[in-house]
Structure 1
């Protein structure tokens, strides 16, 4: 199930560290605050979230398909404040049993999955009744001009250089159309400048039944 993006896998840890210093660490903290029990983190990357998990989390299964990033995540797991098991797998086909997670967590992942609807259906499958879906994603711009720039980037160079990432997906709408009810949503820009990649959301959703 591995997905190989060798250039991106080398660049991402450098970008992630810069983002952490620029304020993303606080957003990751907010993403994970209040979580309890068994958590599945999808698209764990190099494990930057691990340090922010609260002690109320009993175990994290961290799914990462890119081999180089997965190896880095395994190293980060040894330093995490909670037990973390790093495994190979895709968002669209999680190696996890039905109704086994108290929460599913993604950060900067739904921009790059091949099929958002399939991934979100998997998240619903593995969540326990009442379980939470926590997401931190960059999304479509709020102006037509920048949205057009995003579409141009996504149709040409951006996915090739950024590990399959798409800058302009309407992820919030897709989450709602995939059977989730959003309970909390914070829209923000990171960095604060208005660029094609600066529009972000941080939210919590639960599956509708």
Structure 2
């Protein structure tokens, strides 16, 4: 790695030195698990302001994947604060999965603002092992801004594929690695070693589209976009859905 990159990474690490010390002592993770829901509650509202049109367009055809049951059965993987609920169609049944139980009270607030959604359950589990969810029981799995922070993307996608019925769909929005020739990529590289602590394992330079292209899904409809943020290392995104 170039010397100037290492220099800037060390500068960022120095600014965030207390976080790095707490992480070294094994104290940062339990703190982050409690703080993250409050942080994301603010961040996702701002994110939705900029990404509202993209989300509306993406989720506009959810009802096309309605199965034999009357209601559309939706599993939101890595549900966080429930920032996607407002974009779901009337009457869909939503089961939420997240490994962090501290999100539950924020989900309640989002559900109160989205009464068109029928809440089924909040399952505390990692996306890599959703054993509580029956195979083939869902029409749609939705996973947004999650794969950047997981260690094993292949296992997440395999589990999403498992719980979907044949003909069901996996919907995604993820920030990804920028063009290596861009300034955006430069800032991703220098922020990455510290960003993972702030973002609960989030990696800025992940090439998530490659995992989707290699997954078990029969048809992946994916496109790259630049999110309309003014100054952010997470402007490059992929968005789309994949059919089982």
**TM-score, with structure 2 as normaliser:** 0.75
Structure label with greater radius of gyration: 2
Structure 2 residues without counterparts, runs of 5 or longer: 1-29, 64-71
| Structure 1 unaligned spans of 5+ | none
Shift of 1:188: 1.3
Partner SS for 1:12:
helix
Corresponding residue of 2:77: 42
Indicate which of 99, 102, 119 corresponds to 2:139. 102
Equivalences for residues 1-209 of structure 1 within 5 A: 5-21=33-49, 23-36=50-63, 37-55=72-90, 58-80=92-114, 81-85=116-120, 86-94=122-130, 95-144=132-181, 146-147=184-185, 149-154=187-192, 156-193=193-230, 195-207=232-244
CA deviations over 1:20-65 (Å, ceiling 9, x no partner): 22x222222223222132111101110111111012x531111122
Supply the distance in 1 between the matched residues of 2:171 and 2:177 (Cα, whole angstroms). Answer: 19
Higher strand share: 1
Deviations 1:82-122 (A, max 9, x none): 20233222111123100111111111111112210111110
Q: RMSD of aligned C-alpha atoms?
A: 2.1
Alpha-carbon offset, residue 149 of structure 1? 4.5
Q: How many residues align?
A: 202
The alignment partner of 1:174 has SS state of helix
Distance in 2 between residues matched to 1:191 and 1:26, nearest whole Å: 11
TM-score by length of 1: 0.87
| Distance apart, 1:194 and its partner CA | 7.3
Higher helix content, 1 or 2: 2
CA positional deviation for 1:13: 1.0
- Aligned residues of 2:37 and 2:106 also touching (Cα < 8 A): no
